[in-house]
Amino acid sequence: MMKIFLLSTIVLFFSACALYQNTSYNISLKSLEVEEKLKKMAKEWSKTPYVLGGMTKKGADCSAFTQNALYSFKISIPRTTVAQLHSGLKISKSQLQSGDLVFFKTGRGPNGLHVGIYTSENKFIHLSVKGGVREVSLENSYWKTRYLGARRFVLKN
Protein backbone atom coordinates (compact mmCIF):
# COMPACT_ATOMS: atom_id res chain seq x y z
CA MET A 1 0.00 0.00 0.00
CA MET A 2 2.84 2.40 0.89
CA LYS A 3 4.52 1.65 -2.47
CA ILE A 4 1.36 2.55 -4.39
CA PHE A 5 0.99 5.81 -2.43
CA LEU A 6 4.65 6.68 -3.02
CA LEU A 7 4.43 5.82 -6.71
CA SER A 8 1.23 7.91 -7.07
CA THR A 9 2.87 10.87 -5.35
CA ILE A 10 5.91 10.69 -7.65
CA VAL A 11 3.73 10.46 -10.77
CA LEU A 12 1.65 13.46 -9.66
CA PHE A 13 4.78 15.48 -8.89
CA PHE A 14 6.32 14.89 -12.31
CA SER A 15 2.99 15.49 -14.07
CA ALA A 16 2.66 18.84 -12.32
CA CYS A 17 6.25 19.74 -13.21
CA ALA A 18 5.66 18.85 -16.86
CA LEU A 19 2.48 20.92 -16.93
CA TYR A 20 4.26 23.90 -15.38
CA GLN A 21 7.16 23.65 -17.83
CA ASN A 22 4.83 23.45 -20.83
CA THR A 23 2.86 26.49 -19.67
CA SER A 24 6.05 28.46 -19.14
CA TYR A 25 7.35 27.37 -22.52
CA ASN A 26 4.11 28.38 -24.26
CA ILE A 27 4.20 31.86 -22.70
CA SER A 28 7.85 32.31 -23.75
CA LEU A 29 7.11 30.98 -27.23
CA LYS A 30 4.17 33.36 -27.69
CA SER A 31 6.27 36.30 -26.49
CA LEU A 32 9.04 35.31 -28.92
CA GLU A 33 6.54 35.05 -31.79
CA VAL A 34 5.15 38.51 -30.97
CA GLU A 35 8.65 39.98 -30.81
CA GLU A 36 9.64 38.41 -34.15
CA LYS A 37 6.49 39.70 -35.83
CA LEU A 38 7.09 43.20 -34.45
CA LYS A 39 10.71 43.23 -35.62
CA LYS A 40 9.61 42.10 -39.09
CA MET A 41 7.08 44.93 -39.14
CA ALA A 42 9.76 47.41 -38.01
CA LYS A 43 11.87 46.36 -40.99
CA GLU A 44 8.91 46.85 -43.35
CA TRP A 45 8.35 50.37 -41.96
CA SER A 46 12.06 51.28 -41.74
CA LYS A 47 11.88 53.81 -44.58
CA THR A 48 8.52 55.34 -43.70
CA PRO A 49 8.78 59.12 -43.38
CA TYR A 50 7.23 60.72 -40.30
CA VAL A 51 4.14 62.60 -41.45
CA LEU A 52 1.81 63.99 -38.80
CA GLY A 53 -1.66 62.55 -39.51
CA GLY A 54 -0.30 60.07 -42.04
CA MET A 55 -1.45 56.46 -41.77
CA THR A 56 0.46 54.41 -44.37
CA LYS A 57 4.01 53.30 -45.14
CA LYS A 58 4.19 56.27 -47.53
CA GLY A 59 4.01 58.56 -44.49
CA ALA A 60 2.72 58.11 -40.95
CA ASP A 61 3.01 59.30 -37.38
CA CYS A 62 3.87 57.28 -34.27
CA SER A 63 0.29 56.43 -33.29
CA ALA A 64 -0.59 55.30 -36.82
CA PHE A 65 2.38 52.93 -36.70
CA THR A 66 1.28 51.46 -33.34
CA GLN A 67 -2.31 51.21 -34.59
CA ASN A 68 -1.18 49.34 -37.72
CA ALA A 69 1.16 47.08 -35.73
CA LEU A 70 -1.50 46.00 -33.25
CA TYR A 71 -4.01 45.58 -36.06
CA SER A 72 -1.68 42.93 -37.53
CA PHE A 73 -2.51 40.99 -34.33
CA LYS A 74 -6.24 41.60 -34.97
CA ILE A 75 -6.44 44.26 -32.25
CA SER A 76 -8.21 47.53 -32.94
CA ILE A 77 -6.94 50.48 -30.92
CA PRO A 78 -7.73 54.20 -31.10
CA ARG A 79 -6.00 56.35 -33.71
CA THR A 80 -4.31 59.05 -31.62
CA THR A 81 -1.56 58.88 -29.02
CA VAL A 82 -3.77 60.48 -26.37
CA ALA A 83 -6.62 58.02 -27.00
CA GLN A 84 -4.17 55.08 -26.97
CA LEU A 85 -2.73 56.30 -23.67
CA HIS A 86 -6.21 56.24 -22.13
CA SER A 87 -7.08 52.76 -23.47
CA GLY A 88 -5.95 49.26 -22.64
CA LEU A 89 -4.67 48.01 -19.32
CA LYS A 90 -2.28 50.28 -17.42
CA ILE A 91 0.88 48.37 -16.48
CA SER A 92 4.11 49.15 -14.67
CA LYS A 93 7.48 49.35 -16.39
CA SER A 94 8.59 46.18 -14.58
CA GLN A 95 5.69 44.24 -16.15
CA LEU A 96 6.43 45.13 -19.80
CA GLN A 97 5.96 42.37 -22.37
CA SER A 98 6.42 42.23 -26.14
CA GLY A 99 3.57 44.14 -27.77
CA ASP A 100 2.87 46.59 -24.92
CA LEU A 101 2.60 50.26 -25.90
CA VAL A 102 5.06 52.61 -24.21
CA PHE A 103 4.39 56.35 -23.93
CA PHE A 104 6.66 59.35 -23.58
CA LYS A 105 6.23 63.04 -22.79
CA THR A 106 8.42 64.66 -25.45
CA GLY A 107 6.88 68.11 -25.62
CA ARG A 108 6.80 67.84 -29.41
CA GLY A 109 3.85 67.76 -31.78
CA PRO A 110 0.26 68.77 -31.13
CA ASN A 111 -0.05 66.94 -27.80
CA GLY A 112 3.58 66.61 -26.69
CA LEU A 113 3.36 62.81 -26.57
CA HIS A 114 5.02 59.92 -28.39
CA VAL A 115 4.21 56.20 -28.49
CA GLY A 116 6.16 53.05 -29.35
CA ILE A 117 5.88 49.28 -28.89
CA TYR A 118 7.93 47.29 -26.39
CA THR A 119 9.86 44.42 -27.99
CA SER A 120 12.06 42.87 -25.27
CA GLU A 121 15.17 43.38 -23.16
CA ASN A 122 14.24 46.98 -22.31
CA LYS A 123 13.89 47.98 -25.98
CA PHE A 124 11.02 49.36 -28.03
CA ILE A 125 10.29 50.21 -31.66
CA HIS A 126 8.78 53.51 -32.76
CA LEU A 127 8.30 55.63 -35.84
CA SER A 128 10.94 58.27 -35.34
CA VAL A 129 10.29 61.91 -36.17
CA LYS A 130 13.57 61.66 -38.10
CA GLY A 131 11.85 59.06 -40.30
CA GLY A 132 11.61 55.30 -40.23
CA VAL A 133 10.90 52.78 -37.52
CA ARG A 134 13.81 52.27 -35.16
CA GLU A 135 14.51 50.08 -32.15
CA VAL A 136 15.94 51.91 -29.15
CA SER A 137 16.52 51.29 -25.46
CA LEU A 138 14.25 52.55 -22.72
CA GLU A 139 17.50 53.23 -20.86
CA ASN A 140 18.64 55.71 -23.51
CA SER A 141 19.11 59.04 -21.70
CA TYR A 142 16.53 60.79 -23.92
CA TRP A 143 13.77 58.20 -23.53
CA LYS A 144 14.45 57.30 -19.91
CA THR A 145 13.74 60.82 -18.68
CA ARG A 146 10.58 61.15 -20.77
CA TYR A 147 8.94 57.79 -19.99
CA LEU A 148 5.27 58.34 -19.12
CA GLY A 149 3.74 54.86 -18.84
CA ALA A 150 2.58 51.74 -20.66
CA ARG A 151 -0.64 50.06 -21.77
CA ARG A 152 -1.36 46.44 -22.66
CA PHE A 153 -3.86 45.15 -25.18
CA VAL A 154 -4.58 41.44 -25.59
CA LEU A 155 -2.47 40.18 -28.50
CA LYS A 156 -3.80 37.43 -30.76
CA ASN A 157 -1.56 35.59 -33.21
Catalytic residue among 38, 42, 60, 62: 62
Catalytic residue among 114, 119, 124, 155: 114
Contact in structure between 124 and 136 (CB atoms under 8 Å): yes
Catalytic residue among 126, 127, 143, 151: 126
* Amino acid of residue 149: G
Please indicate whether residue 86 is annotated as part of the active site. Answer: no
Contact in structure between 98 and 31 (CB atoms under 8 Å): yes
Please indicate whether residue 17 is annotated as part of the active site. Answer: no
CA 123 to chain centre: 10
Residue among 92, 85, 83, 45 nearest 65 (CA): 45
Please indicate whether residue 114 is annotated as part of the active site. Answer: yes
The residues facing 50 across adjacent strands are 60
Contact in structure between 150 and 91 (CB atoms under 8 Å): yes
Catalogue the active-site residues: 62, 114, 126
